[in-house]
Amino acid sequence: MPTTVITGANRGLGLEFARQYAADGWNVHACCRNPDKAVDLAALAESSGGTVTVHGLEVTDGAAVAALAESLGGAPVDLLLNNAGVYGPKQQTMADMDYDGWLDTFATNSMAPLRLAAAFAANVAASEHKRIVTITSRMGSIEQNESGAQIAYRSSKAAVNIVMDCVANELRPEGVTCVVFHPGWVRTDMGGPSAALEIDESVTSIRAAIEKLTVADTGRFFNYDGTSLPW
């Protein structure tokens, strides 16, 4: 039975990833900040027959991330899915920037995925599928930035793109495939009701693209449909 560790699994994309992988017979370690409030995730775990395990995890807490990895021991992790993310503060322009909020955004969106990758690198390398996938955003593409604003969010996603490219280079000798995915404009709490994609559409497409990955793809930036995006 393959295994995945998913962050931000209490709602939106993370919850749907957990639901779909569980339905396909995967062992799912579903992580979220407040399990007591994650009603839908708890229901999924209860109905899963033991294949979904819920973990309380603050991804910006290095000690908590290390403790989670230690609790799994040397168990193989076929897919580490860095999904947890935040949009950041309301003030995100040059003229009006919440600098403390910007730092918090970096801690979650840019630094936490590296904490997870470092903590679980050996587990992923010991698995059959050997994949690390981080959910980023097309808003982190420098080439495609034509409007500006949203500086905290954009910069944190641009940062995680290069962070995971560095991880890809470091883990390539271990046969690990490390990529980033833009999930599309999705009808989540962040994307809003006017977004183009339903949550299950995005997740189903990303999963199909993940299944086609080989180590030759490591370090790449993908759209949810598996097409390449510019840095």
pLDDT, tens digit, for every residue of 174-221? 999 999 999 998 877 777 777 778 999 999 999 999 999 999 999 999
pLDDT higher than threshold 90 for residue 25? yes
For residue 146, pLDDT over 90 is answered with no
Which residues are CB-contacts of 146 (< 8 A; sequence separation ≥ 6)?
none
Rounded to 5, what percent of the chain is helix, strand, coil?
45, 15, 40
Structure confidence by residue, pLDDT tens digits, 67-85: 999 999 999 999 999 999 9
Residues 79/129, Cβ–Cβ less than 8 Å: yes
Measured CA to CA, the distance from residue 43 to residue 66 in angstroms comes to: 27
Q: Domain 3-223 maps to which CATH number in 3.40.50.720, 3.50.50.60, 3.30.300.280, 3.40.120.10?
A: 3.40.50.720
In this prediction, residue 190 carries a pLDDT of 72
pLDDT in tens, 110-144: 999 999 999 999 999 999 999 999 999 999 999 99
Distance, CA of 109 to CA of 104 (rounded, Å)? 9
Question: What are the tens digits of pLDDT across the range 147-173?
Answer: 889 999 999 999 999 999 999 999 999
**Residue 185 has what pLDDT?**
83
Q: What is the pLDDT at residue 106? A: 98
Q: What pLDDT is stored for residue 223 in this prediction?
A: 97
At 193 the pLDDT is 75
Q: How far is CA 86 from the centre of its chain?
A: 11
Determine the Cα–Cα distance for residues 7 and 129; give it in Å rounded to an integer.
18
DSSP 99-125: HHHHHHHHIIIIIHHHHHHHHHHHHHH
The residue ranges of every structural domain in the chain are 3-223
Mean pLDDT over 50-62 rounds to 98
Please give the average per-residue pLDDT across 11-20, as a whole number: 97
Chain CA centroid to CA 2, Å: 18
Output the pLDDT for position 191.
Answer: 72
Please give the pLDDT value at position 197: 87
